[in-house]
Amino acid sequence: MEESSNPLLKPATCLSEEDDAGVSVSSLSISTSSKADAGTKGTSEGPACERCVLEDFMPCSSSHLWKLMMSFYDRKGPDSWSRGIVPHFITCNTFIGKSYAKVLHGFLRDSLLPNAAMPVDVNEPLYIIELGAGSGKFSYFMLKALEEMQAVCDFPLRKIVYVMTDFTMANFNFWRDHPSLKSYFESGQLDAGIFDAVNDSTITLWRSGVVLGPGTCKNPICIVANYLFDTLYHDIFQVDGGELKEGLISVGSKQLVEPDPLEPDIIGRLENLYKYVPIGAGSYYTSEDGDEAYLRRVLKWYQEYFRGRDCGASILMPIGALRALRRLGSFSGGRALVISGDKGNNNPEQFTGLMDPHIAVHGSFSLMVNYHAIGAWFTNKGGFALHNPQEEASLKCSCFLLNSQQAPSDLSEAGDEAYLGDALTDLDTSRASRFPHLAQAFADSVDNFGPNDFFVLQKSLKEDSPNPPLRAVVALLKLGDWDPDVFFKFRDVILNLAPTCGQKLRNDLIRGIPRVWSNYYMMDLEKDIAFEIGRFYYGIRDYANALFYYQESTRFVCVCVERVLILHYTYSHTHFTFFPHQQ
């Protein structure tokens, strides 16, 4: 295996739990240990078990977990999404793209008002930076939504630059060559750059050559992060008997020998141990580029909130996300709008109880995002948070505003009281009142019926209704702006019922189906959208359109004997020359 130049992908030092010397060894050690030895509160004692120890106990944000994470995405690249290894539909559909665009539009309306709390300059670029753009599918949907609302947006579209970022070249190359993104790149509305959210402090844009860094953006920036914060560094804390404790993790594998400590398959074999040691809220984050007092106040908020509760609390601090947001916020002088969707919690009551963190494995792995802590950090720095209070949700969406110009001047412990308890919520409410269009757009597009609701609705209609009525499927397609994945999911219902349904309902389908194709973002070759659209038109005896989409299928997906025979048979029902535009 070639050693990566990324420092996060350097092989881990492999230690036994008894080795305190920190000496690197050439092979991974096998250790016999029990959960009881780790001092993990809340886990039952059991017999000693053998495991491969990848490293000894250390703070979670410094652990080998994150090297495995980076290795997974570095080695898998776009296949992580195209092969379904990492779930992505919930944050990569037309509905969520339009929802986020509406929230951004609300912010721009507020920022263009006289005496705006955070004004924008229409003569300067406004950068939308998407962190961890992955496959680029969400980027495409948000770009389309912004393009289609330009007639009602007072900020000129030509001055909006959407920047796709990720840390791996494999994803970057996929975007660069993708046909759906070509026109956006050529127009200058889209750019891209390699950006490691954990380590980098500048972004060099591929198309324009512009270097984004501290103080380079005249306008506030917009940051989009979906299913990213759950994969960035976290630290573990508990409040036990009013005392704040740090959680330490020893990363290990159930397999006794691991020749390659960066092998992504180790994620599926993780066998970790935890222990908790007392700390002080003000003595933990001591080197955070000026954020020390703000992070102290966030930790102190939890210590005070759960003080006196016998059950205690278990808290994840998304420190990787906060560090990335701090660096990006510096691009525009500490002024930023952040829209993020992930699995997580924004209600601190969800942290009640002493337990080890749950690590969800899905090819890669992820942790629950503490959106409450992220919001508290923004509020401490002069901004505010808008949370969706819905608790039964696979996807939690939150919006944050960073306004360092309103940050408190008193960062001493004497000033902490104004940011503890209910005072935090009161600050959010009062500050959000100066952005009424943003708050209303978030309420309409996320709170009242948002991306999670759309996901639940389409999933329920598919799984809980064996024979959903065609008119319900059409209504769902319209709600989701004719999303191609939703069309593919319900293609059998459409193909079976469209030929015999009423003419009015068939006309509704005929009007909407072209929108499915215009929304198509080629990624998963097992979903041949063009072929299924061709089948629809063939079923209603529109052979000319059927032929066109069958041809598109052979152009984008594959040419095989079966497809050629279908093309030939369809052609026999038309009066057009076979492949006219290619002759």
d(CA 257, CA 50): 11
Residue 287 located in a structural domain:
no
The string of DSSP codes covering 364-410 is EEE--EEHHHHHHHHHHTT-EEEE---SS-SSEEEEEEEEGGG--S-
Residue 274 located in a structural domain:
no
- Domain total in the chain: 2
Tokens of 484: 């191609």
Residue 527 located in a structural domain:
yes
**Is-contact 9 71, C-beta < 8 A?**
yes
193, 329: one domain: yes
477, 558: one domain: yes
Is this model's pTM higher than 0.85 or not? yes
389, 445: one domain: yes
Residue 119 located in a structural domain:
yes
397, 501: one domain: no
206, 333: one domain: yes
Measured CA distances, 131 to 289, 314, 328, 338, 558 (Å): 21, 27, 10, 11, 33
Is the pLDDT assigned to residue 199 strictly greater than 60?
Answer: yes
Half-sphere exposure of 428 (CA within 13 A, CB side): 21
Residue 506 located in a structural domain:
yes
220, 93: one domain: yes
435, 549: one domain: no
> How much is the pLDDT for 478?
98
425, 543: one domain: no
Mean pLDDT of 317-343: 96
Mean pLDDT of 126-139: 95
Residue 252 located in a structural domain:
no
Domain encompassing residue 437: 89-229+321-347+362-451
Q: What is the CATH number of the domain that holds 554?
A: 1.25.40
Residue 501 confidence class, pLDDT cut points 50, 70, 90: very high
Return the number of other C-beta atoms located less than 10 Å from residue 464's C-beta: 8
561, 442: one domain: no
Q: What is the CATH number of the domain that holds 420?
A: 3.40.50.150
152, 97: one domain: yes
Residue 172 located in a structural domain:
yes
- Portion of the chain with pLDDT greater than 70, in percent: 85
Residue 36 confidence class, pLDDT cut points 50, 70, 90: very low
The chain-wide mean pLDDT, for the chain, equals: 86
417, 565: one domain: no
Residue 45 confidence class, pLDDT cut points 50, 70, 90: very low
Buried b (16+ CB within 10 A) or exposed e, 199-230: ebeebebbbeebebeeebbebbbbbbbbbbbb
The 10s digit of each residue's pLDDT in 528-576 is 999 999 999 999 999 999 999 999 998 876 555 455 555 555 555 554 4
Q: Which of 451, 478, 509 is a domain's end point?
A: 451
367, 220: one domain: yes
Residue 408 located in a structural domain:
yes
